[in-house]
Amino acid sequence: MFKVSPQVEGISNKFIKHDSNMLNQIYGTDDLVPYWVADMDFPIANPITNELARLVEREVYSYEFNSSNIFQAISNWNRDRHGLQLNPENFAQVPGVLSAIALLIREFSNEGEGVLIQTPVYHQFRRLIESAGRKAVNNTLKLAGERYEMDFADFEQKLKNDSVKIVLLCNPHNPVGRVWTADELRQMAEIAAKYDVVVISDEVHADIVFDDHQFNSILATGYESAISIIGSPAKNFGLNSISNGYIYSDNEAYIAKIKAASSSMALDHGNAFTTFATIAAYEKGQEWFEGFLTYTQNNVDWVVGYVAEHMPQIKVFKPEGTNQIWFDFSGLGLAPEPLKSLLAKEAKIGLTPGTWFGEPNENYYRINVASPLEQLQASFERLKAAVDQI
Ligand SMILES: Cc1ncc(COP(=O)(O)O)c(C=O)c1O
């Protein structure tokens, strides 16, 4: 069962999220509650803990490969949850989602060519593109009232003019929280087909979808040049530091090429802890996951409702999916430095700066709400007190 146990003092001082050097670097103080990293503060599902305990008790760590059971478990989960039919033969395993992206960029483009991203977007995308010697091409999302949408006219222009070989899609989108509709993905695939561009879809947040929104995979468009990074239990089961990345494509030539690349660098050897945890998560973790999703949805609703009622100057983008909420603080009328100081030093709330995501406007910030509700409530009450003083 999902539970929100109190934080155990001392266990967290090596977590990146709480690391005081990093906090001082980002915020100029470590005296704040961190909400900046996309991981969760909750204990993981019991069935996963039990499987890890079984592995430890076995006391033997011989070479052990069990990837076919992992692929089957991820396939079944996606069939039941998202109606996706995935062939367990068409998966490739790599150490993580980011290493999947790094490998795919190298396999499906050449140095100097373009990789399109939809900014503001998860900051590691740009880093991976540029460190592979490729060019990051921005297709900035446009604001349509309360939500972000894809700018398809600009998208097509960029595919036409910028030697783009890959579209790196984030679905659900971190940080703006959109869960792309089947229609939006179909339009994207149609334009990509016209210019013969590969679409790589990072679907690591696929299961964290709220209200009546529905996750649609790029795979469901049937686009033959689509690749999904699917089913890593990092975000949905809180296994960030022990999860792999799973690449999937129905395109036989692509998946053969990806498997060969992963194998050539010996990246496909799973670690026993990851293997045990992943199979347990997808086979036995459903009840826990439903509890987690309900709790997170309630946190999102509380934060959105509280800000709307008490700090209407702050614009909140209610997420359709992901643990993140994206904010625009422009309405407070503060310059970037006073805003930063109000958030970190007065409200003591460690948000992710929007500028990290390619957002030129310094008034934007992201929060990860996978934390105990009481903690979030105390943080937002402090924020309200600080805002009331302006
Ligand atoms: C969209 C997205 N992709 C990838 C990652 C990181 O994945 P991994 O740690 O498995 O490489 C994150 C983590 O926040 C993310 O939000």
Rounded-to-integer distance, Cα 268 and Cα 246, Å: 10
Rounded-to-integer distance, Cα 356 and Cα 36, Å: 11
Q: How far is the CA of 200 from the centre of ligand 1 (A)?
A: 14
* Cα distances (Å, whole numbers) of residue 83 to 78, 114, 237: 6, 33, 20
Q: How far is the CA of 98 from the centre of ligand 1 (A)?
A: 6
Which residue do the tokens 């984030």 mark?
170
For the stretch 313-344, what's the b/e string if a residue is b when 16 or more beta carbons lie within 10 angstroms of its beta carbon?
A: ebbbbbbbbbbbbbbbbeebebeeeebbbbbb
Residue owning the nearest CA to atom 7 of ligand 1: 97
Structural domains for the chain: 16-44+287-388 (3.90.1150.10), 49-284 (3.40.640.10)
Task: Report the atom number in ligand 1 closest to the C-alpha of 243.
Answer: 10
With the most atoms of ligand 1 within 8 angstroms of its CB, the residue from 201, 228, 235, 271 to mutate is: 235
Query: Residues 216, 180: contact at Cβ < 8 Å?
Result: yes
DSSP, residue by residue, 175-220: TT-----HHHHHHHHHHHHHTT-EEEEE-TTTT-B-TT-----GGG
Task: Indicate whether residue 237 lines ligand 1 (CB < 6 A).
Answer: no
Q: How far is the CA of 153 from the centre of ligand 1 (A)?
A: 28
Q: How far is the CA of 97 from the centre of ligand 1 (A)?
A: 6
Task: Indicate whether residue 204 lines ligand 1 (CB < 6 A).
Answer: yes
Q: How far is the CA of 1 from the centre of ligand 1 (A)?
A: 25
Q: For each of the chain's 390 residues, which pLDDT tens digit applies?
A: 888 875 555 556 678 888 899 999 999 999 999 999 988 999 999 999 999 999 999 999 999 888 999 999 999 999 999 999 999 999 999 999 999 999 999 999 999 999 999 999 999 999 999 999 999 999 999 999 889 999 999 999 999 988 999 999 999 999 999 999 999 999 999 999 999 999 999 999 999 999 999 999 999 999 999 999 987 899 999 999 999 999 999 999 999 999 999 999 999 988 999 999 999 999 999 999 999 999 999 999 999 999 999 999 999 999 999 999 999 999 999 999 999 999 999 999 999 999 999 988 999 999 999 999 999 999 999 999 999 999
Give the global pTM. Answer: 0.96
DSSP, residue by residue, 272-316: HHHHHHHHHHHHH-HHHHHHHHHHHHHHHHHHHHHHHHH-TTSEE
Q: How far is the CA of 99 from the centre of ligand 1 (A)?
A: 10
Task: Indicate whether residue 96 lines ligand 1 (CB < 6 A).
Answer: yes
- Determine the angle formed by the axes of helices 272-284 and 67-82, rounding to 10 degrees: 30
